[in-house]
Structure 1
Amino acid sequence: MNILITSAGRRVSLVKAFKNELKKLVPISNVFTVDYEPELSAACYESDKSFPVPKAEDLNYIDSLLNICIENDIKLIIPTIDTELLVLAKNKNMFLDKGIIIIVSSVDFVLKCRDKHKIHDFFVKNNIQVAKEYSRSDYKFPLFLKPYDGSRSVDNFIIKRKEDLNSMHLENEKLMFLEYLDQDLYEEFTCDMYYDKDNKLKCVVPRKRIEIRDGEVNKGITKKNIIIDFSKKHLSHINGAIGCLTVQFFKHKVNEQIIGIEINPRFGGGFPLTYLAGANYVKWILEEYLFNKEIDEQFDCWKNNLLMLRYDNEILVNDFEH
């Protein structure tokens, strides 16, 4: 019962978590990884074995991934980045025919998450407020601009006055012109949510984002707050959603108004905080999909106010040539 983590990159903590939990359940097992350049991936050195694959947009990506799974007796695939989710969702049944399960949400839901216009519509349909979106001819400063299909905070801009808005912003058709949510008034939370095989919400762990680096939380703290019951009320079931979803909210510091921002249907970079707080999504995935075990009802017994401060560490490889 080997598993594979794709686009491993620097996700060392996620690899360690899966190794820890898998070997408890199946001592003779392996956690493998793939990456475009595994020799330059820290997480690939942490895994039991790694393999090179083309980039997700390459026409040979799926065949390469499938061959690796068949040759190495892999039963479960864990995706980690936005750009691979759609192609994996579209090919989920091909892998399933070979006895390989990809932990990825449905094509329809992945498409919603990849388009921030659609995920705003999804929030509204579920009675969750969203930031106001302006037209290019009628807007109000300050503005927040971001691509409707972006990730990792790439090409996000805060525009506080007319002089900050330039032709590049106006001509980039991918940029959404949004109401700016002042962080003096709002706190930003990323929630790790676990959805079982039946698309039912089993756990919510809000992580307050204290400091971000390269679009990923660098300092964060778990918080048991109003967002938990809010999520259970509005997002108790999402058609097509499975595994770990990262859902981003802003919460007003005074009146506790909650605004939905976006959803990424995958493990987020800050998930290790949730795991170390006691919400064991890794174990639940293994139990659900390898052992056909049902997940218990709502789990809330994770540590509140657990602070995570991240730092850089080194992996050294002797006699390396590049």
Structure 2
Amino acid sequence: MNILLTSTARRIDFVNFFQDALNDANIEGKIITADPEKNAPSLQAGDENYVIPHQTDSNYMETIFEICKKHNVQCLVPLNDWEVPKIATHKESLEEIGVSVFTPDSEIVDKVRDKGKYRELLKSFNVNAPLSYITIEDAEQALENNEVSFPLIVKPRNGSASIGVEIANNLEDMRFAYQHAVQMIKDSPLDDATYKKPEDNIIIQDVIDGDKFSLDIFNDLNGNYLACFIRRQLAMRGGDVDRCTTVNTTELLDIARKMGENLSHTGYLNADVYFDGNNYYVIDINPRFGGGYAFSHVAGANIPAAIIALTNGNKVKEDWLIQTAGIELARHDMIVKIDEQKGQKIS
């Protein structure tokens, strides 16, 4: 079995997880990495490694198809928010050439990448989201009506990696943050990941102050809920969890199950959930295999093994879907020598 991981960037750990899972299953195959940066550390770790066009490039999907055909890829796992909309759009065509694509369908991707619609989306199955406003005028009116109060958070509706995120403590801050977020969208791949104009792609939200959690929600290829892994965030770095504790809180497990069963997505969703002392609120949903999964893997989960089994039409073992709670975990850096010859281009 050959597995393609796209936008692998620094995630050598993910490459190793999938290599180990193939070996443990006694399955011959290759883990193929692909990233637009020729010096991405992960391109040193795969069995085959490709430098590919950026997802904003018109040749991006053509290159993905060429790699899949060249290596008879049976499984595709995207690791970056920005590429998921394009891969989801071509999911059916990829499946026609024998590739199991572990990303939600386009309809689900569009829903969960628009933070402006979270309250409407999640309310239908009794999951909370913060009060949200799409325009400056709506937010100002809500402030006048005492519906919300400062601080408020201003950010892109389809954001990623904390791009364009600002906290506003007064009207002047809010207006400046709005214009700053618009410019950040124009200057980033976020502008390519939605049909909305940058000015229409901003959300202003009530700030939820309290404990922060990361939820990974995993479904099978038919959208059936399988598992959830929860981590309490202790420290962040560059928009990613740097230190955490694994937890199996009943209320959060219930939220995850509701989301997995009602969204019926394929593969992975990652959600940020904040607790204000009374209620849990879903702040963000990412339709891809999140970097925070590595913590749960160390705590006993094995989703790469489950993905391989699902691709082969085999049964998923229960112990692959369980993490041990109460383990504190932290990231650390490692050094990799870059050999640019390892990152080949598709010809």
Q: What amino acid sits opposite 2:35 in the alignment? A: D
Query: Within 2, Cα distance between the matches of 1:110 and 1:136?
Result: 26
Q: What amino acid sits opposite 1:101 in the alignment? A: S
Matched, 1:192 2:195: no
Identify if the C-alpha distance between structure 1 residues 259 and 18 changes in structure 2 by more than 3 Å, giving closer, same or farther.
same
Matched, 1:6 2:28: no
Structure 1 counterpart of 2:153, from 131, 141, 144:
144
Matches within 5 A, 1:66-215: 66-134=65-133, 135-138=138-141, 139=143, 140-162=149-171, 164-169=173-178, 172=182, 173=199, 174-182=201-209, 186-215=210-239
Match of 1:305 in 2: 326
* Cα offset, 1:162, TM superposition: 4.1
* Cα offset, 1:252, TM superposition: 3.0
Q: Which is richer in helix?
A: 2
Deviates more, 1:299-308 or 1:102-111: 299-308
Q: What amino acid sits opposite 1:218 in the alignment? A: D
Identify if the C-alpha distance between structure 1 residues 212 and 297 changes in structure 2 by more than 3 Å, giving closer, same or farther.
same
Unaligned runs of 5+ in 2: 144-148, 183-198, 342-347
Contact in 1 for aligned 2:302/2:321 (Cα 8 Å): no
* Cα offset, 1:269, TM superposition: 1.4
Bigger relative contact order (CA 8 A; separation at least 6) = 2
Secondary structure of the corresponding residue to residue 8 of structure 2: coil
* Cα offset, 1:300, TM superposition: 6.6
* Cα offset, 1:92, TM superposition: 1.1
Query: Within 1, Cα distance between the matches of 2:170 and 2:253?
Result: 37
* Cα offset, 1:105, TM superposition: 0.6
Q: CA RMSD in A?
A: 2.2
Q: What amino acid sits opposite 1:219 in the alignment? A: R
Identify if the C-alpha distance between structure 1 residues 242 and 60 changes in structure 2 by more than 3 Å, giving closer, same or farther.
same
Query: Within 2, Cα distance between the matches of 1:297 and 1:317?
Result: 38
TM superposition outliers: structure 1 runs of 4+ over 6 Å: 297-300
Query: Within 2, Cα distance between the matches of 1:299 and 1:315?
Result: 29
1:159-194, Cα deviation, whole Å (9 max, x unpaired): 223453344526843331111112xxx111011111
Query: Within 1, Cα distance between the matches of 2:340 and 2:57?
Result: 31
Identify if the C-alpha distance between structure 1 residues 168 and 258 changes in structure 2 by more than 3 Å, giving closer, same or farther.
closer
Contact in 1 for aligned 2:119/2:131 (Cα 8 Å): no
Identify if the C-alpha distance between structure 1 residues 115 and 128 changes in structure 2 by more than 3 Å, giving closer, same or farther.
same
Contact in 1 for aligned 2:154/2:174 (Cα 8 Å): no
Identify if the C-alpha distance between structure 1 residues 304 and 179 changes in structure 2 by more than 3 Å, giving closer, same or farther.
same
Match of 2:21 in 1: 21
Unaligned runs of 5+ in 1: none
Matches within 5 A, 1:20-59: 20-37=20-37, 39-59=38-58
Secondary structure of the corresponding residue to residue 247 of structure 1: strand
* Cα offset, 1:208, TM superposition: 0.8
Identify if the C-alpha distance between structure 1 residues 301 and 133 changes in structure 2 by more than 3 Å, giving closer, same or farther.
closer
Q: What amino acid sits opposite 2:170 in the alignment? A: R
1:10-38, Cα deviation, whole Å (9 max, x unpaired): 0111111011101222443110111112x
How many residues are matched?
Answer: 313
TM-score normalized by structure 1? Answer: 0.90
